[in-house]
Structure 1
């Protein structure tokens, strides 16, 4: 398995984000059916516009310095699941962005601007899609109720940027503990105010609203209590609980409250979700397990019929074979078995593309994907896999055209810019290559390096005055973005 990061460091980030709250009085919860406190009352602490700016800045910092996963298939699944919940949320003021963090701890977290991260470890332990959805609904509720802003308003001390600095520092600590500690020390004035003990009010509010959201979205409302019970049982005898339990205290009362709230809704029994089981298998095969262990694990599951859905175990085994560079075995499973059963499945199409490229047959991947891309050219899984296959087949201009179209509506997708950079480089279009590389740096918040790349691009532009004008304008935009953050 992949190495996990410091539980203590990461638990602080959840105190700053998902669990920020004022000191609670038990009497507040004498009526479980009381209407939630709507978070817009905290608008004088930080405006929605500023919240989105700070959230964007922290997200850029995370991309550059923490183990955020860039995986179109998993991103597509998580964003779709999150959106199914958000449409049933009250007081959602901006689009939500859901993303994965490569960390085996059981955890999820939310911060400014509708950003919600989920650890791969949480997905690995979730037994059903409703359990995963229950965690997302809880975190969405933290955002819609603006718990961070309400904490700031109650204290009237910490500036948005001070809290953003602390959040960023703790998130960095997942990938680089020493750097994270230094960043947190720089924001110590804010960190001194953020205590683990002050979580009850916001946690119960998020539980209540989240379970209601879960019911409206058509999920099993008993999943919240069942996942609470799973975590409590797994870590009952452990001296160092996971971050999720440290920052989201899991008492018997809280589990009982979740069960009582679920009893207010009709029982709902759902079949296992194919997409959930495939996503879980992908996380286990690609991120949680070492290649050899993954092969043994999924082979054993298939031999003993120890799976919820056979196709998920087959898919996991195929991915494990790919990581072990046994691509012919993977091809037999994915292309000859899984795709024949479900030819439009994005998980299978993604794996088939990688297999064909690994076997030196990228044009077969292009041919396989083309009818699907024609129907949905801006789907991230289809477009990015097709672009990758076209680049591998030395069809650079076609890849560039496809990526340009994709980026018109997905302007912050780093893999697209990375593929674009590769295509321009191999096509020897160096001015465009440096411009694309600048966009990658900007997504990491590295504006100085982005400007450097644009200056290289300017030098390669030659006598193309229109191109030079566009480059100068982009340089100004990057510098303006830096200044806007400073003005916060």
Structure 2
């Protein structure tokens, strides 16, 4: 069995750049190495994307990604603001909130960025969050992962994806992790460790530059380091894993301050939604809601904070105390009509309290006020499905192609709506699309096979599902390999 600390060292020397509070090294020279070589000799950008998607699909299967569209939209918004000051288009990054309390973030091949819920809740302002995210995005733009793979032989892609996912999950089968590590990274040594350290220097320099140019406070990087150093002093021998891998020193904090000083003082812009999304992340990642309720009660008694009221209301709705949540949220939503989080939380409390009409009225108004919010549109569709208005839900979802094409949960809602209307062909089709969008091709394949073998379908539906089955098989082979795909289809125990 391989120890987690050992696994972490292997991974830091290999593919995953787990760098939430890493080093910022002072250097006036911002010149960076030319990218694209020799990385392209081992992995093309398309191949990087393939590996990244493999890891994301495994994290989704392990329920390690918080599938809350509102929180993801917020984090993606911070990322898009940073991306505008990188060589890569905003569409070249995908951001996910990881269901973990560890203070961490990571970059995957292809522009997939994971931000732990624990990192969000540990930051004191949006600039601290942006600093970590900018660092991870620099690993992507500089193609550090492909360059690291080029320096490391013997690791197959499927094995690499499995090792990365297992390292992130942390709770995977130790024997399987050990076998994968032994097969793929037995040849790693000090040379590879030094190679990744050079990547760190690049990402630190570029990350601070990106956040400064995006209007965030570059001094927040040093303040975050200082907080991490204090935390390490408190932990003693029980350091969090990331602090063992990336210790924080006075020298590093000083270098971060010096780097931030290279930029002229400008007006810092931070989103008013930040403190609310910080509490939302805390609630969604909580395993003990009753304990979290006491946390909010104690802090609300000590400080008057709308964000704490918001977090407490979210806990109350999840504990079934919906009337109390409405009492907290209604004045907040009235006083701050421009903050989406209050509006959606109040609508959710109305729905949970059985006040579907109030929820629908509020969500209708919110959709008009925030027309670009996919979260608001998804919440409205979910309310329609859950209140039995399936025909209306179906019409609404079919008309919103942007939501269907980009949000897998919308496909699942449409499948539920179609199923309740005995539109079996459409229900199977939409559920398969849901799996497809999550990279879960084996589940899509098995469900389509089951539908074609057992469901009472008309000729059109059979033809449509057969065509989709062929597409899913081809997509599965392209995403993994024919052999790997066959094995995963056989292992899908639900069918």
Is 1:382 aligned with 2:380? no
Instruction: Tell me the alpha carbon deviations over residues 249-286 of structure 1, each in whole angstroms, 9 at most, x when there is no partner.
Output: 43443332212111111235647642110011112233
Q: Residues 313 and 367 (structure 1 numbering): CA distance in 2 closer, same or farther, change over 3 Å?
A: same
Q: Residues 443 and 461 (structure 1 numbering): CA distance in 2 closer, same or farther, change over 3 Å?
A: same
Is 1:432 aligned with 2:426? yes
Is 1:475 aligned with 2:456? no
Match of 1:78 among 75, 79, 89: 75
Match of 1:36 among 32, 37, 44: 32
Moved more, 249-258 or 66-75: 249-258
Partners of 2:404 and 2:232 lie apart in 1 by 40
Match of 2:257 among 256, 259, 268: 259
Partners of 2:12 and 2:359 lie apart in 1 by 42
Moved more, 269-278 or 422-431: 269-278
Q: 2:18·2:106 contact (CA, 8 Å) conserved in 1?
A: no
Aligned-residue offset at 1:374: 4.4
Partners of 1:104 and 1:79 lie apart in 2 by 19
Q: Residues 67 and 168 (structure 1 numbering): CA distance in 2 closer, same or farther, change over 3 Å?
A: closer
TM-score (norm 1): 0.87
Aligned-residue offset at 1:54: 1.7
Aligned to 1:64: 61
Partners of 2:211 and 2:391 lie apart in 1 by 45
Q: Residues 219 and 466 (structure 1 numbering): CA distance in 2 closer, same or farther, change over 3 Å?
A: same
Partners of 2:374 and 2:417 lie apart in 1 by 17
Match of 1:188 among 182, 185, 191: 182
Aligned to 2:490: none
Match of 2:205 among 204, 208, 216: 208
Moved more, 46-55 or 136-145: 46-55
1:331-346 alignment runs, 5 A limit:
331-335=326-330, 337-346=331-340
Partners of 2:44 and 2:345 lie apart in 1 by 43
Q: Residues 317 and 403 (structure 1 numbering): CA distance in 2 closer, same or farther, change over 3 Å?
A: same
Aligned to 2:435: 441
Is 1:111 aligned with 2:105? no
Match of 1:239 among 221, 237, 240: 237
Structure 2: 5+ residue stretches without partners: 20-24, 485-495
Aligned to 1:26: none
Q: 2:136·2:203 contact (CA, 8 Å) conserved in 1?
A: yes
Aligned to 2:15: 17
Moved more, 414-423 or 50-59: 414-423
Partners of 1:128 and 1:93 lie apart in 2 by 22
Q: 1:282·1:319 contact (CA, 8 Å) conserved in 2?
A: yes
- Secondary structure of 2:72's counterpart equals helix
Instruction: Tell me the alpha carbon deviations over residues 302-359 of structure 1, each in whole angstroms, 9 at most, x when there is no partner.
Output: 3322x6xx22122112112112211101011112x01111234321222122212211
Partners of 1:267 and 1:232 lie apart in 2 by 26
Partners of 1:280 and 1:201 lie apart in 2 by 32
Structure 1: 5+ residue stretches without partners: 22-28
Is 1:126 aligned with 2:120? no
Q: 2:74·2:277 contact (CA, 8 Å) conserved in 1?
A: yes
Is 1:322 aligned with 2:320? no
Partners of 1:326 and 1:435 lie apart in 2 by 38
Match of 1:101 among 89, 93, 98: 98
Instruction: Tell me the alpha carbon deviations over residues 341-386 of structure 1, each in whole angstroms, 9 at most, x when there is no partner.
Output: 1234321222122212211122321121113324655632111100
Aligned-residue offset at 1:30: 9.2
- Secondary structure of 1:39's counterpart equals coil
